Amino acid sequence: MGGPWPIEWKGKTYQMGRPNPAAIEAIENEIARDAWDEANTLESFAPGALADVRDKLLTRQHRAGGPLFNATFRTSQGGLLQLWSLVRLHHPEFTRAEAAAMNQDIPDQVELALIMANPGFFEQVGVRSKMPHARQETKAAELRERAGKLVEQRN
């Protein structure tokens, strides 16, 4: 497990890359970019929004294990960022908009692909965020079990 896992979409086969530090860093950078863009939008209505986000970014809260990362990672947006980061390892032209469209068009295939990649992805997040190894192993084992059950159901 942990990729690559193919996804057929719009007549093309998309291969997911194996979770690695580059995929995690891409997600961190997108979280930072989104936070900055949102603060820019809010600044005229909420003075200080840019300064607040700047402080959060300077204290690395967008990095794996940080509050901004965790808040995003636990949402549907986090799943889309995960999909985007892993597919673009093999398809650099793949965009976040395409990840959202793919998820909307073929949610079952996307879910299976993400579950299959998740143990390795979670391990990479754990390493980057300095999560205790025992917790990494427990979470990865849970995800492998879920992936196995999902594959059995689909067969």
**Amino acid found at 43:** E
* Reported confidence tier of residue 129, pLDDT bands at 50, 70, 90: low
Q: Are the C-beta atoms of residues 107 and 99 closer than 8 Å to each other?
A: no
Token duo for residue 67: 């509050």
What is the distance between the alpha carbons of residues 17 and 40, in angstroms, rounded to a whole number? 33
**Amino acid found at 61:** Q
Residue whose entry in the numeric block shows the structure tokens 């896992």: 5
Q: How far is CA 71 from CA 92, 145, 152, in A?
A: 26, 25, 31
Which secondary-structure segment (H or E) carries 107? Answer: helix 107-128
* Reported confidence tier of residue 18, pLDDT bands at 50, 70, 90: confident
More confident residue, 134 or 107: 107
Q: Give the model confidence (pLDDT) of 33-83 as tens digits.
A: 999 999 999 988 899 999 999 999 999 999 988 899 988 887 888 889 989
What is the distance between the alpha carbons of residues 21 and 128, in angstroms, rounded to a whole number? 8
Q: Are the C-beta atoms of residues 5 and 124 closer than 8 Å to each other?
A: no
